[in-house]
C-alpha cells in the first residue's frame, strides 16, 4: 500500500466515523480485535476503553441476541465469507440500542481464520420502529378484544333468540331469559311480567347466578320480596325505589353500601308500544358499559316479543279449548250393560280442532243415543258447524227418540242455516235389556257400522242414507240388530278406513279384522288396538281426523 | 323399592290377572295399600311393574294370548287410575309435568305410574295418551306450560320416535327426562338422544324433577354423537319403507300386532345405531325368528334380507351390523 492510498483509506475511515460508522479488524493469529473510536461509540464505550478481545465484544451484546451472533460469526469463521447481522447492544449505562454489523472473514484451506474486518453502525430508526410496533401491537390487542367482545355479544343474542324462539309459554320464556342473563350478563335478574287487562298481573321470575331461580305466579312480587328471594336485599339502603320494577325508559342505579357495589339496570319490556313488564339486572362490582346496556336492552326487546306471542297463544288456546269441549263430550257416560269407548284424534294436532263430532246421551224413554259425524270442511269453521250440529242433533233426538226422524229434523235445521253446514253422520239408538242390547241405526252419507260377533267374525250392518244439509228430500234407512252379550258395534268416520300406507288404504276389511281379532277385550282395548294398528299403518304420516266409537254388549 | 315384595305376592297377582279377576286384583292391591304409608309405592313401583314384566314374558313365550295380555294391562291401568283418583287433586297453580309415551309406544302404564308419583309430590301431571306424535307433544307443551317433559319408551324399536319427541320438547325450551326399559340401566342412551336427564324409575320421577336444571341450552349445543348412518337412514326412510313393502307386501311391512314386520326391524336397526349396541338388533332378530313360528308371520331371514336390499349402500355400517347381527342371531341371510 502506497502512502497515497493509505491516506485515502484513512480519510474514508474518518468520513465513515463522521457519519457514525465504525470499523474493526480481527487478527486471529494474535487473538486481537481492534475497534476504532467510532465503533466504541456505537457500543457506548469511551475512546480506547475496548479491551480488544472477542469475549469483551460478546459481553456488550444483549443477552437475548448473543447466541444468534455467536452462531452467525462462528459459521463464517470456519467457512469464510461475508455476514450481516442486526442485534441489540447494552451500553454500560444500561441503555439498549439496535446495531447492524457487516463483516468478512477469510480462512485458509484447513478452515482456520486468517483475517477479519468489518463495519458497524447504530440503527437509530429502529427505536422509533419498535415504539410504533409496540403501539400497533397494543391497538391490535384492543381490536382483538373488541372482536372477541362483539362475538360474545352476538353469541349471547343468538343463544337468547334460540333459547326462547321455540317456546310459547311465558314462564319458560322468563326462565330461559333469566338463566341466560344471570349466566352471562349479570349476577342476578328479576323479570316482572304484567299484562293488560283482562290478564292482569302474570308472574315474577327471579334468578341468581348461584342461588337458582324462583317463579311466583298470580300475584305481584314486591321488590323487597323479589330481592329477598335473591338473597341480596337490594333495597336495604332505601336507595333502590320500588318503582324500579315500573320503569318506562331504561334506568341505571348504583348501590354503594353493599359489600362490592351493585350496579342495577332496569329495562321496560315493551310489546307493540305497551309496557308489559320490567327486567331488572344486577351486576356486582362491575358497572354497566354502554355496550352491555345495549345488549341487555336488545335481549329485553326479544323477550318482550316472546312474552307477547306466548300470551296471544294462551288466549287462542282458551278459545280452541272452549270449542273442543263443546264439540266432544269430556267423558263418555257409563251405561249399564254397555261397555263404551271412543278414540278421537284430530288431523291438525296444533289446533286440535277437527271436523269430526261424537256424542252419547240419554233419551227420555230410557234408551241412549250414540252419534258419530263428520263435517265437510276443516278448522275453526268446521268446529263451529260441529257444535251447531251436535246441539241441533241432541234437540232432535230428544224430541223424536228415533234415529231416522232425528236425521230428518237435523237436515231441515241445517238447510235453514245461512252458512250451509254439511255433514255425514251415523246415529244409533241403543236400548240395553237383560243380557242384550237393541241397536237401531240410521246413517246420512256415512260409513255403515261394523258388527263384531266373535273371533274373525264380523260384518258390515248395511244401511244407507243421504248426506245432511244438501237436499230437502233426503232418504234414510234404518237397520235394527239385537246385540248379544260379547258382541260389539263400531261407529267410525272415514278417517279410519282412509288412513294410508303409501297409496294403500287401511280399509274396512282391516278394520273388521283388527276388531274381531281382539273381540273379547274391553271396548277401550278395542279402540286402542285399532288406533295402534292404524298408527303402525300410517307409520307417522299425517292422517285425516280419526274417530272410532265401540259399544260392546256386556250382558 | 323395586323387588321388595315377595315373589309369591307378585305371582299371585299375575295369576289373578291371567284369570281376568279384577275384583281379586283390587282386593290384593287394597291389602297392600292399607298395610301402611309405603303401600301406594309398593303397588305402583313394585307390584304392577313386576307383574307386567312377567305378563310380557308370558306373552313373548306365547303362554298367554294377546287378549289375556290386553285384559291384564287393562286391569292394571284401571287400578292405577283408581289409585290416582284417590290422591289429592293438584291445584291449577302447581308446577305441571307433561308425560308422554314415545311415538309408536302403546304401553302407557309407566306414564300413569310416573304421574302418580308426581302427584304424590304436589306436581300437576298431564298424561298424554299412548303413542304421542311430536306435533301432539308440542301442542300439549304449549297448553300446559310444563316445567318438564317426561318421555317413556319401553321398546327399542320406538327409540327413533322417542328421539323426535325429545328434540321437539327441547326446542320449546323445556327440560326432558327420559325413562323406560328401552333406555336401559344407565343414563347413557338418554344422554345420547339429547335428554336433559334419565329416570331410573317412573315412580321416582319427582325426585329427579325437583333437582333438574331449568335452563335448556339452545339445540346448537346439543352434543349428539350419533352415528352418521342414522342421517342416511332418516333421509331415505320413505324409500326404504316403500321398498320393504314392495318386497314383503304391505301387511308384513307394517305388522303392528305381531311386532315382526319389516318396519320393526328397520326401527330397531336405527335404535341399535343410536345406542351403539348391536345386541339390540340381534335380540330383535331372535325375537322375530321366534315369532315366525306363529301363523301369518314371515321368517326373520326374509325380513332381514329385504331390509338389507332396501338400505342404501352408503349406509355401510348399518348394512354390516344387520349382516353380523343376523349371523349372531343364527338367522341365515
The DSSP string of A401-416 is --HHHHHHHHHHHHHH
Choose the closest CB to A164 out of B66, B173, B242.
Answer: B173
State the smallest CA–CA distance between residue B313 and chain A in angstroms. 23
The position carrying cell 307493540 is A272
Choose the closest CB to A504 out of B70, B93, B250.
Answer: B250
pLDDT of residue A312: 84
Is the pLDDT at A434 greater than 90? The verdict is no
Tell me the ipTM for this assembly.
Answer: 0.76
State the smallest CA–CA distance between residue A402 and chain B in angstroms. 35
For an interface test with B, the pick among A501, A504, A527, A548 (most B C-beta atoms closer than 10 Å) comes out as A501
pLDDT of residue A239: 58
Strands A113-122, A21-27: pairing kind = antiparallel
State the smallest CA–CA distance between residue B53 and chain A in angstroms. 19
Chain A contacts of B70, Cβ < 8 Å? 518, 521-522, 525, 529
pLDDT of residue A9: 65
The H or E element that residue B156 is part of is none
Closest CA to A498 of A353, A356, A389, A323: A356
Question: In whole angstroms, what is the distance from residue A1 CA to residue A4 CA?
Answer: 8
**Nine-digit cell at B110?**
309407566
E-strand stretches of B188-274: 197-199
Q: What values do phi and psi take at A25, rounded to 5?
A: -135, 155
Q: Output DSSP code: residue B47.
A: I
For an interface test with A, the pick among B68, B142, B155, B250 (most A C-beta atoms closer than 10 Å) comes out as B142
Closest CA to A221 of A209, A207, A203, A237: A203
Residues B98 and B138: beta-carbon distance below 8 Å: no
Task: Tell me whether residues A540 and B218 touch, CB distance under 8 A.
Answer: no
Q: What residues are paired with A468 via a beta bridge?
A: A423
Question: In whole angstroms, what is the distance from residue A322 CA to residue B282 CA?
Answer: 50
Q: What percent of chain A has pLDDT over 90?
A: 45
pLDDT of residue A238: 46
Surface-to-core class of residue A47, CB atoms within 10 Å of its CB (0-12 exposed, 13-18 middle, 19+ buried): exposed
The string of pLDDT tens digits covering residues A254-267 is: 766 556 678 889 99
Choose the closest CB to B145 out of A171, A176, A180.
Answer: A171
Question: In whole angstroms, what is the distance from residue B125 CA to residue B118 CA?
Answer: 7
pLDDT classification of A3: cutoffs 50, 70, 90: low
Is the pLDDT at B4 greater than 50? The verdict is yes
Q: Rounded to an integer, what is the distance from CA A350 to the centroid of its chain?
A: 20
| Nearby residues of A218 by Cβ (< 8 Å), 6 or more positions away | A201, A203, B93
The string of pLDDT tens digits covering residues B86-122 is: 888 777 768 899 999 998 887 788 899 999 999 988 8
Strands B148-152, B96-101: pairing kind = parallel
Whether the ω angle into residue A198 lies within 30 degrees of 0, i.e. cis, is: yes
Q: What residues are paired with A214 via a beta bridge?
A: A206
- C-alpha torsion angle, residues B198, B202, B207, B209 (rounded to 10): 60
pLDDT of residue B279: 92
The string of pLDDT tens digits covering residues A383-409 is: 888 889 999 999 999 999 999 999 999
Question: In whole angstroms, what is the distance from residue B177 CA to residue B168 CA?
Answer: 13
Mean pLDDT of chain B: 88
State the smallest CA–CA distance between residue A407 and chain B in angstroms. 33
pLDDT classification of A538: cutoffs 50, 70, 90: confident
Closest CA to A124 of A100, A101, A103: A100
Q: What residues are paired with A252 via a beta bridge?
A: A265
Surface-to-core class of residue A364, CB atoms within 10 Å of its CB (0-12 exposed, 13-18 middle, 19+ buried): exposed
Report CA torsion sign: A528, A531, A534, A538.
negative
Reduce the DSSP state of residue B313 to 3 states and report it. Answer: coil
Task: Tell me whether residues B130 and A528 touch, CB distance under 8 A.
Answer: yes
The string of pLDDT tens digits covering residues A473-528 is: 999 999 999 999 999 999 999 989 998 887 888 999 999 999 998 888 889 889 98
- With CA atoms as reference, the chain B residue closest to A209 would be B215
pLDDT of residue B15: 95
Chain B contacts of A518, Cβ < 8 Å? 66-67, 70
The string of pLDDT tens digits covering residues A196-225 is: 555 555 778 888 877 777 777 766 667 777
Chain B contacts of A529, Cβ < 8 Å? 70, 257
The H or E element that residue A253 is part of is strand A251-255
pLDDT of residue A344: 86
**B249 Rama class: left (phi>0) / alpha (psi -120 to 50) / beta:** left
Task: Tell me whether residues B138 and A218 touch, CB distance under 8 A.
Answer: no
E-strand stretches of A162-217: 188-194, 201-208, 212-217
* Beta-carbon pairs below 8 A across chains A and B: 120
| Nearby residues of A376 by Cβ (< 8 Å), 6 or more positions away | A355, A382, A421, A422, A423
pLDDT of residue B81: 85
Residues A66 and A72: beta-carbon distance below 8 Å: no
The string of pLDDT tens digits covering residues A57-91 is: 889 999 999 999 999 988 888 888 999 998 999 98
Q: Output DSSP code: residue B172.
A: T
Choose the closest CB to A317 out of B104, B143, B172.
Answer: B143
Q: Output DSSP code: residue A444.
A: E
Q: How many CB atoms lie within 10 A of CB A157?
A: 15
- Residues in chain B, total: 333
Task: Tell me whether residues B254 and A539 touch, CB distance under 8 A.
Answer: yes
pLDDT of residue A552: 94
Chain A contacts of B103, Cβ < 8 Å? 540
pLDDT classification of B82: cutoffs 50, 70, 90: confident
The runs of H, that is alpha helices, within A106-169 are 124-165
Choose the closest CB to A166 out of B161, B171, B257.
Answer: B171
The string of pLDDT tens digits covering residues B238-269 is: 899 999 989 988 888 887 666 678 988 999 99
pLDDT classification of A351: cutoffs 50, 70, 90: low
**Nine-digit cell at B239?**
324409500
Strands A262-271, A274-284: pairing kind = antiparallel
Q: What residues are paired with A206 via a beta bridge?
A: A190, A214
Question: In whole angstroms, what is the distance from residue A465 CA to residue A29 CA?
Answer: 129
The position carrying cell 333421509 is B235
pLDDT classification of B17: cutoffs 50, 70, 90: very high
Question: In whole angstroms, what is the distance from residue B200 CA to residue B127 CA?
Answer: 19
pLDDT classification of A233: cutoffs 50, 70, 90: low
State the smallest CA–CA distance between residue B276 and chain A in angstroms. 24
For an interface test with A, the pick among B254, B260, B261, B294 (most A C-beta atoms closer than 10 Å) comes out as B254
pLDDT of residue A240: 66
Chain B contacts of A527, Cβ < 8 Å? none
Choose the closest CB to A352 out of B139, B141, B219.
Answer: B139
* Lowest-pLDDT choice from A119-128, B121-130, B160-169: A119-128
For an interface test with A, the pick among B17, B138, B214 (most A C-beta atoms closer than 10 Å) comes out as B214
**A94 Rama class: left (phi>0) / alpha (psi -120 to 50) / beta:** left
Residues B141 and B149: beta-carbon distance below 8 Å: yes
The H or E element that residue A267 is part of is strand A262-271
Is the pLDDT at A235 greater than 50? The verdict is no
- With CA atoms as reference, the chain B residue closest to A171 would be B145
CB contacts under 8 A, A 194-213 vs B, are 213
CB contacts under 8 A, A 295-324 vs B, are 313, 317, 321
- Residues in chain A, total: 555
A528 touches chain B (CB under 8 A): yes
Amino acid at each position: 500500500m502506497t502512502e497515497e492510498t493509505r491516506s485515502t483509506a484513512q480519510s474514508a475511515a474518518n468520513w465513515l466515523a463522521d457519519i457514525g460508522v465504525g470499523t474493526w479488524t480481527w487478527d486471529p493469529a494474535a487473538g486481537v480485535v481492534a475497534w476504532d473510536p467510532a465503533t466504541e461509540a456505537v457500543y457506548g464505550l469511551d475512546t480506547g476503553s475496548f479491551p480488544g478481545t472477542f469475549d469483551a465484544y460478546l459481553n456488550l451484546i444483549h443477552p437475548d441476541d448473543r447466541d444468534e451472533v455467536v452462531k452467525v460469526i462462528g459459521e463464517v469463521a470456519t467457512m469464510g465469507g461475508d455476514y450481516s447481522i442486526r442485534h441489540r447492544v447494552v451500553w454500560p449505562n444500561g441503555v439498549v440500542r439496535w446495531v447492524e454489523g457487516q463483516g468478512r472473514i477469510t480462512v485458509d484451506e484447513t478452515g482456520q481464520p486468517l483475517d477479519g474486518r468489518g463495519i458497524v453502525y447504530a440503527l437509530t430508526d429502529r427505536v422509533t420502529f419498535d415504539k410504533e410496533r409496540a403501539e400497533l401491537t397494543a391497538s391490535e390487542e384492543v381490536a382483538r378484544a373488541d372482536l372477541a367482545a362483539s362475538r360474545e355479544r352476538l353469541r349471547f343474542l343468538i343463544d337468547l333468540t334460540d333459547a326462547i324462539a321455540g317456546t310459547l309459554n311465558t314462564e319458560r320464556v322468563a326462565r330461559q331469559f333469566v338463566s341466560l342473563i344471570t349466566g352471562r350478563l349479570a349476577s342476578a335478574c328479576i323479570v316482572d311480567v304484567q299484562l293488560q287487562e283482562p290478564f292482569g298481573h302474570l308472574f315474577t321470575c327471579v334468578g341468581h347466578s348461584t342461588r337458582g331461580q324462583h317463579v311466583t305466579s298470580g300475584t305481584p312480587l314486591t321488590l323487597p320480596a323479589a330481592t329477598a328471594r335473591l338473597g341480596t336485599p337490594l333495597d336495604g339502603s332505601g336507595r333502590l325505589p320500588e318503582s324500579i320494577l315500573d320503569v318506562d325508559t331504561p334506568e341505571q342505579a348504583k348501590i354503594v353500601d353493599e359489600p362490592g357495589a351493585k350496579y342495577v339496570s332496569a329495562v321496560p319490556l315493551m310489546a307493540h308500544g305497551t309496557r308489559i313488564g320490567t327486567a331488572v339486572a344486577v351486576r356486582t362490582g362491575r358497572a354497566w358499559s354502554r355496550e352491555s346496556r345495549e345488549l341487555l336492552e336488545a335481549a329485553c326487546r326479544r323477550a318482550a316479543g316472546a312474552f307477547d306471542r306466548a300470551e296471544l297463544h294462551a288466549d287462542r288456546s282458551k278459545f280452541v279449548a272452549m270449542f273442543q269441549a263443546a264439540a266432544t263430550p269430556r267423558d263418555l257416560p257409563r251405561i249399564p250393560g254397555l261397555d263404551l269407548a271412543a278414540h278421537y284424534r284430530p288431523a291438525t294436532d296444533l289446533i286440535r280442532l277437527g271436523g269430526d263430532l261424537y256424542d252419547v246421551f240419554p233419551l227420555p224413554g230410557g234408551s241412549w243415543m250414540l252419534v258419530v259425524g263428520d263435517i265437510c270442511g276443516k278448522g275453526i269453521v268446521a268446529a263451529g258447524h260441529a257444535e251447531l250440529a251436535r246441539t241441533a242433533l241432541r234437540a232432535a233426538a230428544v224430541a223424536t227418540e228415533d234415529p231416522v226422524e232425528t236425521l230428518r229434523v237435523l237436515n231441515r235445521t241445517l238447510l235453514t242455516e245461512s252458512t250451509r253446514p254439511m255433514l255425514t253422520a251415523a246415529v244409533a239408538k241403543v236400548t240395553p235389556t237383560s243380557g242384550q242390547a237393541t241397536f237401531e241405526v240410521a246413517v246420512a252419507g256415512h260409513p255403515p257400522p261394523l258388527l263384531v260377533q266373535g273371533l274373525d267374525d264380523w260384518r258390515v250392518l248395511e244401511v244407507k242414507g243421504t248426506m245432511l244439509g244438501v237436499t230437502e228430500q233426503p232418504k234414510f234407512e234404518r237397520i235394527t240388530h239385537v246385540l248379544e252379550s260379547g258382541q260389539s258395534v263400531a261407529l267410525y268416520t272415514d278417517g279410519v278406513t282412509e288412513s294410508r300406507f303409501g297409496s294403500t288404504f287401511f280399509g274396512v276389511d282391516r278394520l273388521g279384522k283388527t276388531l274381531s281379532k281382539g273381540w273379547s277385550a274391553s271396548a277401550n282395548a278395542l279402540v286402542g288396538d285399532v288406533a295402534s294398528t292404524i298408527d303402525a299403518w300410517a307409520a307417522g304420516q299425517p292422517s285425516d281426523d280419526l274417530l272410532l266409537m265401540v259399544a260392546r254388549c256386556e250382558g | 323399592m323395586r323387588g321388595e315384595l315377595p315373589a309369591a305376592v307378585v305371582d299371585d297377582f299375575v295369576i289373578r290377572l291371567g284369570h281376568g279377576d279384577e275384583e281379586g286384583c283390587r282386593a290384593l292391591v287394597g291389602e297392600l295399600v292399607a298395610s301402611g304409608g309405603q303401600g301406594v309405592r309398593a303397588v305402583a313401583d313394585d307390584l304392577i311393574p313386576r307383574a307386567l314384566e312377567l305378563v310380557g314374558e308370558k306373552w313373548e313365550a306365547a303362554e298367554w294370548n294377546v287378549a289375556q295380555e290386553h285384559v291384564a294391562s287393562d286391569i292394571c291401568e284401571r287400578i292405577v287410575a283408581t289409585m290416582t283418583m284417590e290422591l289429592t287433586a293438584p291445584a291449577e297453580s302447581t308446577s305441571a309435568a307433561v308425560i308422554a309415551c314415545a311415538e309408536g309406544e302403546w304401553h302407557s302404564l309407566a306414564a300413569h305410574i310416573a304421574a302418580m308419583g308426581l302427584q304424590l309430590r304436589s306436581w300437576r301431571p298431564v298424561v298424554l295418551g299412548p303413542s304421542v306424535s311430536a306435533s301432539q307433544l308440542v301442542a300439549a307443551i304449549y297448553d300446559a306450560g310444563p316445567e318438564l317433559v317426561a318421555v317413556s319408551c319401553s321398546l327399542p324399536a320406538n327409540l327413533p320416535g322417542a328421539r323426535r319427541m325429545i328434540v321437539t320438547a327441547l326446542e320449546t325450551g323445556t327440560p326432558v327426562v327420559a325413562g323406560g326399559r328401552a333406555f336401559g340401566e344407565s343414563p347413557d342412551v338418554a344422554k345420547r338422544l339429547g335428554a336433559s336427564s334419565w329416570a331410573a324409575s317412573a315412580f321416582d320421577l319427582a325426585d329427579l324433577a325437583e333437582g333438574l336444571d331449568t335452563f335448556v341450552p339452545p339445540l346448537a349445543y346439543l352434543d349428539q354423537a350419533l352415528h352418521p348412518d342414522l342421517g342416511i337412514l332418516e333421509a331415505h326412510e320413505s324409500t326404504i319403507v316403500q321398498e320393504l313393502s314392495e318386497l314383503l307386501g304391505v301387511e308384513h311391512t307394517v305388522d303392528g300386532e305381531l311386532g315382526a314386520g319389516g318396519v320393526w326391524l328397520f326401527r330397531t336397526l336405527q335404535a341399535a345405531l343410536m345406542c351403539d349396541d348391536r345386541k339390540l338388533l340381534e335380540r330383535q332378530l331372535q325375537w322375530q325368528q321366534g315369532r315366525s313360528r306363529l301363523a301369518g308371520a314371515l321368517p326373520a331371514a326374509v325380513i332381514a334380507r329385504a331390509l338389507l336390499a332396501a338400505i342404501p349402500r352408503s349406509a355401510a355400517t348399518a348394512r354390516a351390523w344387520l349382516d353380523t347381527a343376523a349371523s349372531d342371531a343364527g338367522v341365515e341371510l
